[in-house]
Each structure stands twice: as structure tokens, then as C-alpha cells.
Amino acid sequence: MSDTTQQMPEESPLDPRQQQRREERLFLLLSIFIGVIAGLLVVSFRMAIEWLQVLLLGSVSEPHQLRMILVPAGIGLVVAIATRYVFPDVRGSGVNQTKAALYIHNGYISFRTTIGKFLLSALAIGSGHSLGPEDPSLQIGAGVASLVSRQVGISRRKLRIFAPVGAAAGLAAAFNAPISAILFVIEEVIGQWSAAVLGSVVLSAVASVVVARAFWGSEPMFRIPEVMLRDPRELLAYAALGFAGGVAALIFAKTIGWLHPWLRKQPPALRMLQPMLAGLIVGTIGYFGFPQVMGAGYDAIDQAMHSQFTWEMLLMLAGLKIAATSLSFSSGTPGGMFAPTLFIGATLGAALGVFEKKFFPGLTGSTGSYALVGMGVLFAAFLRAPLTSVFMVLEVSQNYSIVLPVIVANTIAYTLSRSLQPVPIFELLTKQSGLVLPSMEEIREEDELRLEDALQPVTVPVIEDSVNVADAMQVMEQDGIALVHCADGRWYVMQRDELENAERETRISDLMHGERTPVLYPDQPLAKALPHLERWDLLPVISRAGGMLEGVVTLPGLMRRDPMDLAETDKH
């Protein structure tokens, strides 16, 4: 038989670097794909909420309609049954669930949970429960990412970070604000970032916003006139708003922090009825004249910005929204806290703006600007995301003249909230659920130990590489080791036995065949030195200014360095 066919050459396997580059390109492409799918799902989610709201409560929510009581209560019972028997993992806002997927379940979110979050959250919010769509959108996006990641062959390490990539896409589409979504995911879900993760998160968020804007347009969520600070006293008013927001955030957090575990302790039969009872109470609030507190409340936020309520009414709405949201969320009804937080902040800020116009007409601040700043204030103080809160206000209004009032008020609110409520709300809810997830606020505030904290004085001889063997052996007679300063500015750790068989007139530089020690600086973290201490007994640490020797670090010295010792040192 003649060999007329040529055998195809076998493909050579990719080397690890090529495999890694290929995986990174695939990861970026998948990030865009996830962003598109998440954007479409979030658009569908918001449309489902709006459609259900019109179907169940009517196009205009007016008080004294019996269905305002019956619909939230009835849907609450449906949601409770579905949560108990069909979708057991959809309770909560979605933020902690996404963090749990990242840190506990290797990025896994089941397809059933994603579908359940979509359906039950849309039902609950559309029927009037005082919850918002942004947090569920975050988990829906994370669920999409988890599903896609399971269908492609990528490493386990990459699988874990798919969840925050999808979370950013879902939140960006819900807010129509990619920068805020990226910052929140980094600030609250991941806690830290690398260039690779940031690139994927950005691509996913931008892709989802492009999809969302194809349906909703690129107009900002809220429009207010430009803020002109003509009178310095207005900054005092914004500072007062920051203080009031910090107190309101404390009341909100304390209410949920007490009510949530108390309701979870009730007998199973009563727990089944809790979403129905919460819907009944929220519906009753709407029936007796305050329908604005039902649902996400974006229409009411817009009305507050345009001075359509008295300041007394606005304060009442803020208080009722705290009560209604605490009930809806603590009952186990799936839905988010972002929109209620913005509602409370907007009504609180608008109340200050209306009060100022009535009693201090000389000040020129607009009600809309106070409402917008109030939104950022509550976001910073209650959700404890200070950086996100600033950019969120800027993105949802596209009004960059408001940045100074936002920074002043948010800083005061965040500082006050941290002092009065040390445990952030998401961490508190995590502990109440029996989970141990990293506290991103604690991670941001940690004082990382650095090489300067473990620096020891140089007790071994220091010689130049130009000296000869005879002189070097003389100074190394007691220690048996020396630090050699090389002509190129680097350092070399020399043992005495390296000189035993060398000619006495030979220069040290001619014997340094080993590797130079790594270049270490005092401000670098301790972890920078650990991988090298297995090879060298001590490592020189040099100054960034001129390369002067600052001291040395050793493995025993690093191990003895306790963070509590560092705290005591700082006190003195």
C-alpha cells in the first residue's frame, strides 16, 4: 500500500506563559459577553418590575385603595412559599450572597438562584414591598458570570473572580453608572484589585451600560440645576446634612440589626408568614396616605428634588421608609437596600432644602442639590462605601459642580457612622447569617506591617567588594558572615567558607559568583522579604534616597514582629 497521504503533525502543547496569555484573552472576551447578557437581564428585570407595578397597583399609586393592602400581603405569601420550597437561596439583598460565592463557594451561584432572584425580587418590588432592584441586579449579574464560567475551561482561580465581574455588570446596568458599579464592587465585594481584575470588571460594566442605554438612553437619572456656592454658610448647611444623615443611617442600621435576627428566631410557621405581614404593614402605610414609601420610590425621589413636598412631609417619609424597608428586608423578602437608602437620603436632604428656603431665604441652595447630596450621605453612612457614594452622585446627576458639598457631607456622615456603628451593615448581616466573610472596611483600615517595622541594626561586618581575601577573612573572623557592598550599588551576603581556598590577594569581587540579594526598601511590606529568607540568613534594607544601608531583616526578626508590638511602638 503506497503512502499517498501525509500525516498531520501533532500540535505542540502551549508553554505555561502562552497558556496564561490565551486564558487572559479569553477572560477579557468573556467579560464583555457577560456584560452584554447581564445588561439584557437587568433591563428585563426593571421592565418586569414596572409592568408588575402597573398590573398590580395601577399606573398611579393613590391612597385609600384596598388593593394597596391586599396586593403586597398576597404577593408576600407567594414569595414566602416560593422561597421556602423552590428558591431557598434568594433571601437577602444579593451583596453578601455574591461575596459568599466569591470567598466560600469558589464563585458558584446556581442557575436556580439566579432565576429565583429575578422572579421573586420583581414580584416583591412590583407589588410594593419597600425594596430596591440594584442589589438583586448585582447578584443576577454575578449569577450570569457564574453560569458562563462553568461552561468554559478556565482555571479555578479565574472562576472565582468571575462573580465580581458579573456583579459589576449587573449593578452598572441597574444604576446606569459604570464608574460607581466598578468602585462598589472593588470597595465592598473584592476589597482589592489588580490590573487584570480591573480590566475585566471595567469591560463588563461598560458593556452592560451600553446595552442598558440602548433601551433607556444616556440621560441622567436625576436632573438638578448647577450648584453655585455663593455663600459660605451653605457649606455649613451641607455639613449639618452630613450629621443628620449619619444619625439617620445609625437608626436604619440599628433597626435592621435588631429586627432581622429577632424575626429569624421565630417558629418556622410564623417565619413563613413574615413576608405577608411585612407586605400588609407596608401596604397599610400606603393606604393611609403615604404610597410613596412603597416599592423602590424613584418617582418620590424625583418629586422631592422638585420641592413637591413640605419639609414636615419629607421627614415623615424618611422615617416611614426606614420602618417599611426594615420590615420588608428583615422578613426575608428578596430585594435590595440601595434604592431605599437613596430614598431616605433624598427626602432627608430635600427636607433641609425646603426648610432652608422657608426660614433662610437669603441662602441660594436648591432643594434638588440638597436631595442629591442627601442620597450620597446615606449611601456613605449606611452602606459604608464612601468613595462609591461620591461618584454615584456625580454619575446619576452628571452634575460635577456638586462635588464639594458631596465630599464635605459624605465625610462627616461616614465618620459619624463609623464612630456610632463600628460594624458595617453588610458585615452585621453576614454574622447574623452564620457566615464569616472578610470585612472590606477593616481590610481598608488595616495597618500593614512593613520592613521598617522589623528592621534590625547591622551587627555583621560591611566590606567593599574591592578588598582582598586576607582583609575580608580578618573582619569576618568572629561572625563568619559579611555584607559586601558591590561597585554597582547592589549587595552580596558572603560566608567565610567561600574564602577558604582563595588566594589571599584575590579581590572579593572576583569571588562573588552567587546571586546578589534582592533590593529591599523600608516602606515595602514584610511579605516582600519572606520568599528570600529561605536562601539568605539576612537581607540588607537600603534607603530610597542614595541607597544607604538602613539595616537588615532576618527571619527570626520578622517572626517576632507582632502587630500589637507595633501599636505600642506607635503610641510612644
C-alpha 350 chain-centroid distance:
28
Once rounded to an integer, what is the mean pLDDT over residues 182-201? Answer: 78
Question: What percent of the chain has a predicted confidence (pLDDT) above 70?
Answer: 89
Rounded Cα gap, residues 541 and 451, in angstroms: 8
Once rounded to an integer, what is the mean pLDDT over residues 147-173? Answer: 81
Strands across the sheet with 462-464, in order? 462-464, 481-485, 491-495
What the chain holds in terms of domains, given with CATH numbers, is 18-216 (1.10.3080.10), 233-444 (1.10.3080.10), 451-571 (3.10.580.10)
- Residue 490: per-residue pLDDT: 86
Rounded Cα gap, residues 285 and 199, in angstroms: 45
The residue among 170 and 224 whose pLDDT is bigger is: 170
Name the band, by pLDDT with cuts 50, 70 and 90, for residue 567.
very low
User: Who contacts 411 (Cβ-Cβ below 8 Å, separation ≥6)?
Assistant: 242, 380, 386
Phi, psi of 514 (to 5 degrees): -80, 180
Neighbouring C-alpha atoms within 13 Å toward the C-beta of 138 = 31
Once rounded to an integer, what is the mean pLDDT over residues 316-329? Answer: 96
The three cell numbers of residue 122 are 420583581
Name the band, by pLDDT with cuts 50, 70 and 90, for residue 213.
very high
User: Who contacts 86 (Cβ-Cβ below 8 Å, separation ≥6)?
Assistant: 116
Question: Which SS3 state, helix, strand or coil, does residue 219 take?
Answer: coil
pLDDT digits (tens, 9 = 90+) for 121-138: 999 999 999 999 999 999
Question: What percent of the chain has a predicted confidence (pLDDT) above 90?
Answer: 44
Once rounded to an integer, what is the mean pLDDT over residues 77-86? Answer: 94
- Residue 561: per-residue pLDDT: 63
Residue 529, pLDDT > 70, answer yes
Query: Is 260:330 a contact under the CB 8 Å cutoff?
Result: yes
User: What pairing do the DSSP bridges indicate for beta strands 481-485 and 491-495?
Assistant: antiparallel
Q: Please give the C-alpha separations between residue 380 and each of 93, 238, 355, 386, 518, in angstroms, as whole numbers.
A: 17, 14, 23, 5, 42
pLDDT digits (tens, 9 = 90+) for 306-322: 889 999 999 999 999 99
Average pLDDT, the chain: 86
Once rounded to an integer, what is the mean pLDDT over residues 445-470? Answer: 84
Once rounded to an integer, what is the mean pLDDT over residues 518-545? Answer: 88
pTM of the complete model beyond 0.85 = no
Rounded Cα gap, residues 221 and 419, in angstroms: 32
Residue 562, pLDDT > 80, answer no
- Residue 386: per-residue pLDDT: 87
The residue among 217 and 569 whose pLDDT is bigger is: 217
The residue type found at 155 is: S
Once rounded to an integer, what is the mean pLDDT over residues 362-381? Answer: 88
Burial zone of 459 (CB within 10 Å; 0-12 exposed, 13-18 middle, 19+ buried) = exposed
Residue linked to cell 442627601:
374
Residue 149, pLDDT > 70, answer yes
- Residue 374: per-residue pLDDT: 94
Range picked from 14-28, 42-56, 483-497 for highest mean pLDDT = 42-56
pLDDT digits (tens, 9 = 90+) for 390-438: 998 888 887 777 888 999 999 999 999 999 988 889 888 988 888 777 7
Query: Is 491:484 a contact under the CB 8 Å cutoff?
Result: yes
Once rounded to an integer, what is the mean pLDDT over residues 175-181? Answer: 88
Name the band, by pLDDT with cuts 50, 70 and 90, for residue 444.
low
Query: Is 479:461 a contact under the CB 8 Å cutoff?
Result: yes
Name the band, by pLDDT with cuts 50, 70 and 90, for residue 5.
very low
Residue linked to cell 557592598:
485
Once rounded to an integer, what is the mean pLDDT over residues 283-290? Answer: 94
Query: Is 390:396 a contact under the CB 8 Å cutoff?
Result: no
Instruction: For the chain, give percent helix, strand, coil, nearest 5.
Output: 65, 5, 30
Once rounded to an integer, what is the mean pLDDT over residues 151-161? Answer: 70
